[in-house]
Every structure is written in C-alpha cells, then in structure tokens.
Amino acid sequence: MKVSDFISPEEEKEVVEAIKQAELNTSGEIRVHIEHTCEGDRFNHALEVFEQLEMHKTKLSNGVLIYVSIDDHQLVIIGDKGINDVVPKGFWGSTKDKIINQFKKENYKQGLIDGILEAGNQLKTHFPYQSDDIDELDNEISKGKS
C-alpha cells in the first residue's frame, strides 16, 4: 500500500487539524509518523523515530508519538519521560483501542483522528493547556522512506 492510499493529502490536513485541536486541551505535543515497515523491535524502532524527530525537545518532556507502519500493521505509542513519570501503566490503552477500532474497518484517517483526540483528553489531566502555549513540535505528519 502506498502511504497516499493509507491517507490522502486531503485526509492528512484533517489529521493535522485534529492535532491542533488536541493540543488546545493539553500542553502535551502529539506527532504522527507513518512508514511502510517497522525494522526490528517495534518499541526500539519507534523510540529511534521519536529521537530522530527530536521529540524530546519539549519543556515538560511531554511529547507523544503515534507510530504506524502500514505494511506490517504495527502501532506504537511513545510518550516522553515527563508523561511516563506521572501516568499509570496502560495509560495509552484507550488511545490504542480507538485507533485499532477504526483501522480494523480500514478507516485509517478516522483512527488517527480518534486516537489523537483521545490522547489529548487523556493528557489534559496531567498536562493541562497553558495560556502561554507554544506549538513546540510540528503538527505535520512525518513519513518514512517510500
């Protein structure tokens, strides 16, 4: 599958909008990375992507990466240290469920949107939106090699 079959440029804009909306709930910063296949251990690889995207560069260490590989169907959610320090285990369960529910029906765009909004809601309690918020991490979807 081409990345553009997974998500069209038009749909991408809606996903970016969802990120903007979610980031009005929380100081957390959400990014999405899409690529074809996940090399090696999915958690280690998603962590590498997190680092490559310099997602640790947030004031409160509260960046969140939603990593998706479309050919081998991997989904990993990586939250930075600031989040892991304060949330219970299984914190991302509801976000993952929302994404997978839609992905199963091949509603990829909707899965990402639902997951992003859920992540924003989940983060709100621990990391409320600050009135002096800055957009610390780009909202555009990042993509791996095609």
Interaction site with Ca ion (CB under 5 A):
29, 133, 135, 137, 139
145/32 Cα distance (integer angstroms): 15
Contact 95, 122 (CB under 8 A): yes
Based on CB atoms, which residue is closest to Ca ion, 110 or 139? 139
What 8-state DSSP symbol labels residue 131? T
Query: Which residues on adjacent β-strands are paired with residue 79?
Result: 64
CB of 126 to Ca ion, least distance (A): 14
CB of 103 to Ca ion, least distance (A): 23
CB of 134 to Ca ion, least distance (A): 6
Contact 72, 37 (CB under 8 A): yes
CB of 114 to Ca ion, least distance (A): 18
Q: Which helix (H) or strand (E) holds 64?
A: strand 63-69
Based on CB atoms, which residue is closest to Ca ion, 56 or 105? 56
List the structure tokens of 30. 């959400």
Based on CB atoms, which residue is closest to Ca ion, 20 or 105? 20
Based on CB atoms, which residue is closest to Ca ion, 17 or 135? 135
